[in-house]
Amino acid sequence: MLHALGGILLKAVPTFLLVILLHFYLKNIFFKPLEKVLHQRYEATEGARKLAEQSLEQAAAKTASYEAQLRAAKAAMYQSQEQLHKQSQEREAAVVGEARKSAEAAVKLATAQLAKDVEAAKTSLAADSESLANQIAETILRRNAA
**Residue-wise pLDDT tens digits, 57-105:** 999 999 999 999 999 999 999 999 999 999 999 999 999 999 999 999 9
Domain-located, residue 126 = no
Domain-located, residue 137 = no
DSSP state for residue 146 in the 8-state scheme: -
Domain-located, residue 29 = yes
Q: Which residue has the higher pLDDT, 41 or 10?
A: 41
Domain-located, residue 140 = no
What pTM, to 2 d.p., does this model score?
A: 0.45
Domain-located, residue 70 = yes
pLDDT at 8 over 80: yes
Domain around 9: 1-108
Rg (CA), the chain: 60
Domain-located, residue 82 = yes
Domain-located, residue 113 = no
Domain-located, residue 57 = yes
Q: Provide the number of structural domains found in the chain.
A: 1
